[in-house]
């Protein structure tokens, strides 16, 4: 059962269509990326899934619950950090969580708060620091801790590394990986950073101008992968692969670099074997997520936002 399933989800603000008929499934367990440039509709989509705004059209099935009443029921198992965290500035990190625990009706008590503060590396002295005195990274981590109150099955994070320095980005990235490591929780991570999605996410959906352009494995986005092939006769292999329709990107003493969709490298061996040419080495070089993103969004053809 998908953690989230949306069908024909649309949101219009007057004449502006922020999300345009999006349909996708978010698998249960692991980290699911929502990738797109600023203004692509990511935050609006997540705000509808999280129940903060109502869709103009379409449906949301949340953790198996559908319909308006079902969506409301499913929201009890969802934690969300949309845009930036907002807390009481004059209260400590610990007291902020304690107040929110009461607001949300979470019943974990001090043990839950201590555990969450440790999880986001805000234990000890940091727990007593007033929110207004916290660094940007501390504020973001406290926002994640607040979203984890009640131990939600689905965690939604919208641009959680925005404004962080490189050390803070690594800390939050490692935290997100850990939160989904056992497969018990699903994390949806919205980001405009290709590198962040590539390093953290298993699956990804790509949006642009409110439309869904791609949904599937991160490794399968675009067709920009390649493989380095060495054979018993690279000259004959070059001709045979070209005749079979393969694109040879480069030729060197190390072998032939052949353009191939990640996961389809075995087809190169198949076509060479059919020509009675034998492979002595085949190493996938993978594909650039950036190149794949450009292909999916059309930016490779010179389009701009």
Instruction: Supply the pLDDT for residue 222.
Output: 57
Instruction: Supply the pLDDT for residue 143.
Output: 95
Instruction: Supply the pLDDT for residue 304.
Output: 37
Q: Over the stretch 4-16, which tens digit does the pLDDT of each residue have?
A: 999 999 999 999 9
Instruction: Supply the pLDDT for residue 142.
Output: 95
The answer to whether 81 and 147 have CB atoms below 8 angstroms apart is yes
Instruction: Supply the pLDDT for residue 300.
Output: 42
Instruction: Supply the pLDDT for residue 305.
Output: 40
Name the residue ranges covered by the structural domains of the chain: 4-219, 226-286
| Token code pair at residue 251 | 């030729």
Query: What's the rounded Cα separation, in Å, for the pair 302 and 206?
Result: 18
The CATH superfamily label for domain 4-219 reads P-loop containing nucleotide triphosphate hydrolases (3.40.50.300)
Q: pTM of this prediction?
A: 0.77
Q: For the structural domain made of 226-286, what CATH number should be given?
A: 3.30.70
Q: Which residues of the chain have pLDDT under 70?
A: 220-224, 262, 286-292, 295, 298-305
């Amino acid at each position: 059962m998908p953690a989230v399933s949306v069908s024909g989800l649309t949101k219009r603000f007057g004449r502006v269509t922020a999300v345009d008929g999006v349909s996708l499934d978010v698998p249960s367990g692991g980290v699911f990326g929502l990738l797109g440039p600023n203004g692509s509709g990511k935050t609006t989509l997540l705000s509808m899934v999280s129940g903060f705004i109502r869709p103009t059209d379409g449906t949301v099935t949340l953790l198996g619950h559908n319909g308006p009443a079902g969506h409301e029921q499913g929201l009890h198992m969802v934690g969300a950090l949309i845009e930036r965290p907002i807390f009481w500035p004059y209260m400590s990190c610990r007291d902020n969580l304690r107040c929110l625990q009461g607001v949300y009706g979470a019943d974990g008590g001090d043990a839950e708060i201590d555990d969450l503060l440790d999880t986001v590396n805000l234990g000890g002295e940091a727990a007593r620091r007033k929110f207004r005195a916290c660094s940007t990274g501390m504020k973001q981590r406290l926002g994640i801790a607040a979203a984890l109150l009640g131990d939600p099955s689905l965690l939604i994070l919208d641009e959680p590394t925005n404004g962080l320095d490189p050390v803070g980005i690594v800390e939050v990235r490692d935290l997100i990986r850990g939160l989904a490591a056992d497969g018990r929780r699903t994390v949806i991570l919205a980001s405009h950073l290709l590198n962040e999605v590539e390093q953290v996410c298993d699956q990804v959906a790509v949006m642009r101008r409110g439309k869904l352009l791609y949904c599937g494995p991160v490794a399968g986005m675009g067709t920009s992968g390649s493989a380095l092939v060495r054979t018993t006769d690279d000259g004959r292999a070059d001709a045979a692969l070209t005749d079979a329709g393969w694109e040879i990107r480069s030729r060197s003493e190390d072998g032939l670099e052949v353009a191939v969709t990640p996961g389809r490298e075995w087809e190169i061996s198949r076509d060479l074997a059919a020509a009675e040419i034998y492979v002595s080495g085949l190493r996938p070089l993978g594909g650039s997520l950036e190149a794949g993103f450009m292909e999916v969004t059309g930016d490779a053809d010179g389009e701009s936002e």
